[in-house]
Structures are given as structure tokens and as C-alpha cells.
Chains A and B, each alone.
Chain A
């Protein structure tokens, strides 16, 4: 392909990437070094409501001639990052308590980071293994059953995450069907939503339940391309089922295992809907949830755009870091292929 054709072909996606990825990213980066504030003035005003009158001295936003709030962006350097990472507090905690996780987690960011990492790395092996097992099972089914079974297996993935987490929540919360059933069997009062660890288990379970079908469908498609002759040859050579899986099937679908890992890491690191869906904000905190929380309007109609941008940047950096090993592997393979 000559250079000109290449440019013409890639230009549309390049332009889209600039507009929808590069510019927003730059703006978030820019904003993470600023405080966005209303310009405030101190006024004294008399306010009367059904409970009486009083004179207050308040800071209120200055309105411009059109009646809009005038905003300013103040350069604050690393202030937003400092307010999130709290290295000074972290240092004093470590000096007083040593490397105690529970003490470190009193800082929101580390609490969020702890859960985000647990969520990402605990669910990954389960998703891969269950996905592969399912794919192998379905692959061995009689053809007539394959269609319906694939459809049913995919259902958890088709459901919107928020709806999925809500429905699981309602199975377990208060007197949900499953809780009632367990209480009946165990003759014990069960409150899944009362302890951080039980909610966390439920959230992890939900994620595995929700994402396994994705791994399954990819692996199932890959299994269709495994060379039947090689399997038969291995069979004739006396390889058992496990050896055939270990030495022929898995190496064959390895690129797709890497692909699923990559997608799952990126996806799970952004954990957020689960916390909203399970109303788990009192117990769990994730990096993306922090961003969301900073962006939520409070009663006075303002939000913390600076810190929200900073947590977004930190989340992105986190994703890049955990993807490096996987990406390096992919690059290496590409290089080997080219040689």
C-alpha cells in the first residue's frame, strides 16, 4: 500500500480518534490541574421562609449581566492529585501503624484501589476457566442442543450490568427469595448487605456470572477452528483428553485467551455499575465510583470537576500499568511472526 492510500484509508478513523479520544483526554488532563470555581462574593441577605426571617452573611456566586454564574479555572498544580493520593497522611499512617491495610484504607483512594484490584484480578481466572469449561462442554454437545444452550448461556452477558446487578441484589437483600430460602434451610438470620465482605463476595460473584459468557463465546468460536486432524493424530499417539487440551487446544486458542484477558482487565478495572446497582457505596469504593461521586451535583448545585478529572487520569494510568505485561506479550508475538 502506498503512503497516500494508507493516509486516505486511515484519515477518517484518525480524525474520529482526535475528536473523541485525544481532545477529551487532553481536556481531562488539563482540568485535573485546575480548580473550577464560581466567582464568589460575600453578601449579607435577609431571608424569610416559613420558619421565620434571619439575616445571613453568605458567599454566593457572582452573576454576569446575562444572569449566568461566572466561572474561573484556577491553576493549582498537583493539588488535586495530592488531595486524592494524600501521601502525607499515608506516610504518617505507615509510620504509626506500619503497613496495615485496614489503616491505609482509611484514605478513600487506597480503599478504592484495593477493591478495584481485587475485583479485577480475582474475577479474571474464574472468567477464563469457567468460560473455557463452558466452551468445551458446549462443543461436545449434540448439535441439536447447541443453539438453545448457547443462547441461554449468553443471557447474563446480554442483560445490562445495572439491571443484572439490581436483580441479583433483590434476590439477596432483606427478605429476597434466596435469603429467605437460606434462612429457612439454615434456620439463621442472614443479612448479606450488612457486612463489607459479604457484599464484596456477591459483587465478585455477579461479575463472574456476568462476564463468563463473553469468554465462553470467544473460546467457543476459537474451538471451531482447532485442527481436527491434529486432535485425531494426538489421539492415535495415545494422548489423553487432558494432554490434548494442554498441548493442542490451549496453544491454539492462546491469542484469544490473551484477548479476553486484555478486555476483561480493562473492563473490570472500570468497576462502577456494580457499586451503584448493589447500593454498596457504604462498604465498597472503586476508582471510577470516586470519579462519579465527585461529579455528582450536591444540593447547592456544584461538583468537584478537578478531583474527578484527577481520579480519571489515575484510573487511566492504572489501566495502562496492568495492561503492560499483556501488551508486551502481544508485541513480542507480533515481532516473532514478522521475523
Chain B
């Protein structure tokens, strides 16, 4: 399914390029350049503007993280530019595959804001272009008809789900990106951060506690109101469930918000509204993590290529370009005037949701979570056994990596 989605996104990106009103690019690019990034709408907006300048071939691939390290590690690098998330940035940064951008910013980066610069020990290593977070999507019409207030806590979500289920207006009250693997791991991390602040005690995992137990229980409660096939349900699947009017609420990525009002795909145009991710404790912080996506430039390319790549990236990230598609993502840009579809992400950030604690340790735990949780949700393992297994598997994995 993933492969097909890639194909679909590549075709979609071509279609988008074909139809977008061709803006003339002011700085023609004459150095052949390539890029690798994820394939969601925001990247289409950025890379299609860059393509107008010529000599540029983007690769939009939802599985980009599987190849980014190997691709940038070769010399010369397979791609001049790469799109990274808060978490994949760790992999290229730790491997020393990206170059500092301070000189290039001084020359060509006048339009950048300070909060776009991702710095490590004072050196700019990446340019952030958007934030992303999972937050509440809900069908306003259904909630209004049934007289339900927009839920702000997960207990309210469950209550609302019960009412919606009894009313029988949609197939399933809730959707969720609960696909086994990375998605499910992310759900746990989001929910856990609603109860607690940290996953580790020094180097050791610290999730086998009351917070971990509450997190598991809440995740399981949510699944009772979902399509029973939730363990195969990824972001695209949840997006489609919304678009086809099958679900009423879900905690979904901000980068998917624009698609709700895409009249070509969606049968619920104008009906889906957005709010902050719910909290687990009344008055607590939203149970979600804040992500950023941005651009890095490979180290293993010539300085001329790097300069051309940076200039090109500035065209893609130009406020005027991003300002034309405010619905595509919560851009970080001076032109950013939150579109209605971005309000959920803004509120989640304002509510104090934690940034995703990206690190090698966290990636390891994330992988373990994604593999361990399905057994709990299907009922094959108890909460206690699951939490013990998470910690034991983490220790095994971290030992093999040398992290302990």
C-alpha cells in the first residue's frame, strides 16, 4: 500500500505541476539539482515552485527516511537537497551528512526568520519551513446536530464518541493512525506526553509506571470506537475515512488538514473543523508532539552546487510562494497568516504541547513501541506485560546499538 501511495503521490505531484499556474522564476537555475523529501502537500508546494527555475528534479517519497542516510552518505551525494523532519534530521545530523548553512544564509537567506533556523551549537544545519502536529479533526455538523461541545480532553472524546455511536450517523465515531509500526508508536508517545514529561531516566527507559498504564488504557478505549481494522490504518487511510464521511473525529496530522476541503477527493468539504489535540488531564498540556519539517543541504556536493541548491530552496520557501497555499501546512514564514485549516496546529502549540524529543534513544524506543503495542491492543498481552516488554526490548535494542 505504501508503494502505491508513493506512486500516487508522484503522479499527483506531476499533475499538480502540470496544472499549477506556471509562475516565471526570477532566478533561473543552471546547475542540475535533485531533492529527496516526503510526499505530502507541503512538499509539493515547495518543490513545484523550485521546478519553475529549471534543472531541478524532486523525488517525493513517503518512505524517504529509508533511503535518506544511504543516499546522502554516497560521495557525491545522490541528492543535493533533502527534506527532513525533526526526527529524520537526527539521522543525517549524527552521520555528519549535512552542511552548515551560515555562509549561504548570510549571502542569500535574507528572507528567513530566526525561528526557521535550526541550529546546533550555534551553526545553522537546517531550515525549518513548517510545523506539524497531530490534533483534533472533527465533523462540525455532527457535533452540532447532537449538541456536543468540541472535546478538549480525551474523556470528553470518549463521551462524544459514545453519543455519536448511539446516534449511528457515521460508520465509526473515531479514526486513528494506529497502524502497527511507526504510526502506533507515535500515538503512544503523544498520549504518554499528555500524562508525563519524559520517557527516560538517564539512559534507562521509564515508561513502566502509572503514566504508561494510563496511556495504554486510553489508547485501548479509543480503539473501541474505531474501525476494527485500526491496526492497518495509517494517515492516508484516516484522511480518506474523513473524506468519505465515515468517521466523525480523529487526531490527525496538521499536514492532512488541507485535504479535507479538497473538492476532488472529499465529500465533506467545509464540514471538518480543527481544534487543539485533546489533553489527558483537564487543564494539562495537549497530548501531542510538535514536529517541524525543513530543508537540509548535503555535505558531499560541491560548494557551487550547494550555493545553487540553497538559492533554489529559498525560491521554494519564499513567503510569497508559501502564502499562496496557506492551507497546505502551518508554514513558518513571515507571510504566514493561519489558514482555517492550520488552526488546530496553532492551538496545539499554544496549549504547550511538547516538541518531539528527537534523539537516537527516542528513535529506538519509537521502534520498540510500534512493534510491542499491537499485542496489547488485540488483547494478546496484558498492560503490565506490555510495559515490561517495552522496557526489556528497549534495553536489548539500545545495548546492541551501544547506547547504554
From B73, B115, B397, give the contact of A304 (CB < 8 A). Answer: B397
Residue A261 CB within 8 A of the other chain: no
B88 near A299: Cβ-Cβ < 8 Å: yes
Question: A193 to B226, alpha carbons, bound, how many Å?
Answer: 13
Q: Specify which chain B residues have a CB less than 8 angstroms from the CB of A83 in the assembled complex.
A: 396, 400
With CB as the reference atom, state the residue of chain A lying closest to B92.
A301
Per-residue A-contact encoding for B288-312, CB less than 8 Å = 1, 0 else: 0010100000010000000000000
Question: A69 to B299, alpha carbons, bound, how many Å?
Answer: 14
Tell me if B's interface is mostly helix, strand, loop or mixed: helix
The answer to whether residues A40 and B380 also contact, given A49-B355, A67-B96, A297-B69 and a CB cut-off of 8 A, is: no
Binds A, one of B120-128, B161-169, B210-218, B264-272: B120-128
B4 near A47: Cβ-Cβ < 8 Å: no
With CB as the reference atom, state the residue of chain A lying closest to B87.
A299
Q: What's the count of A-B pairs with C-beta under 8 Å?
A: 164
With CB as the reference atom, state the residue of chain B lying closest to A38.
B402
Residue A100 CB within 8 A of the other chain: no
From A47, A49, A300, give the contact of B94 (CB < 8 A). Answer: A300
From A80, A105, A283, give the contact of B374 (CB < 8 A). Answer: A283
Interface residues of A in 304-325 (CB under 8 A from B): 304, 306-307
Query: What is the CB-to-nearest-CB distance from B156 to chain A, in angstroms, rounded to a whole number?
Result: 26
B180 near A282: Cβ-Cβ < 8 Å: yes
B380 near A300: Cβ-Cβ < 8 Å: no
From A47, A195, A293, give the contact of B371 (CB < 8 A). Answer: A293
B364 near A106: Cβ-Cβ < 8 Å: no
Q: How many B residues touch A, CB cutoff 8 Å?
A: 68
B385 near A299: Cβ-Cβ < 8 Å: no
A166 near B4: Cβ-Cβ < 8 Å: yes
Q: Specify which chain A residues have a CB less than 8 angstroms from the CB of B399 in the assembled complex.
A: 35
A299 near B90: Cβ-Cβ < 8 Å: yes
The answer to whether residues A301 and B95 also contact, given A47-B120, A58-B360, A281-B181 and a CB cut-off of 8 A, is: yes
Residue A302 CB within 8 A of the other chain: yes
Residue B91 CB within 8 A of the other chain: yes
From B68, B119, B229, give the contact of A174 (CB < 8 A). Answer: B229
Interface residues of B in 72-92 (CB under 8 A from A): 73, 86-88, 90-92
17 new A-B contacts at CB < 8 Å, known A60-B360, A196-B380, A282-B377 = A48-B117, A49-B118, A61-B94, A63-B96, A67-B299, A68-B96, A106-B385, A166-B1, A173-B229, A279-B232, A281-B180, A283-B180, A298-B364, A299-B358, A299-B363, A300-B362, A300-B364
The 5 A-B residue pairs with the shortest CB-CB distance, nearest first, are A301-B91, A282-B180, A194-B228, A282-B231, A282-B374
27 contacts between A and B (CB under 8 A): A35-B402, A38-B402, A46-B121, A49-B118, A50-B128, A52-B355, A60-B360, A61-B96, A63-B96, A169-B1, A191-B227, A193-B228, A281-B180, A282-B184, A282-B374, A297-B69, A299-B87, A299-B91, A299-B367, A300-B360, A300-B362, A300-B364, A301-B94, A302-B363, A304-B397, A304-B401, A307-B400
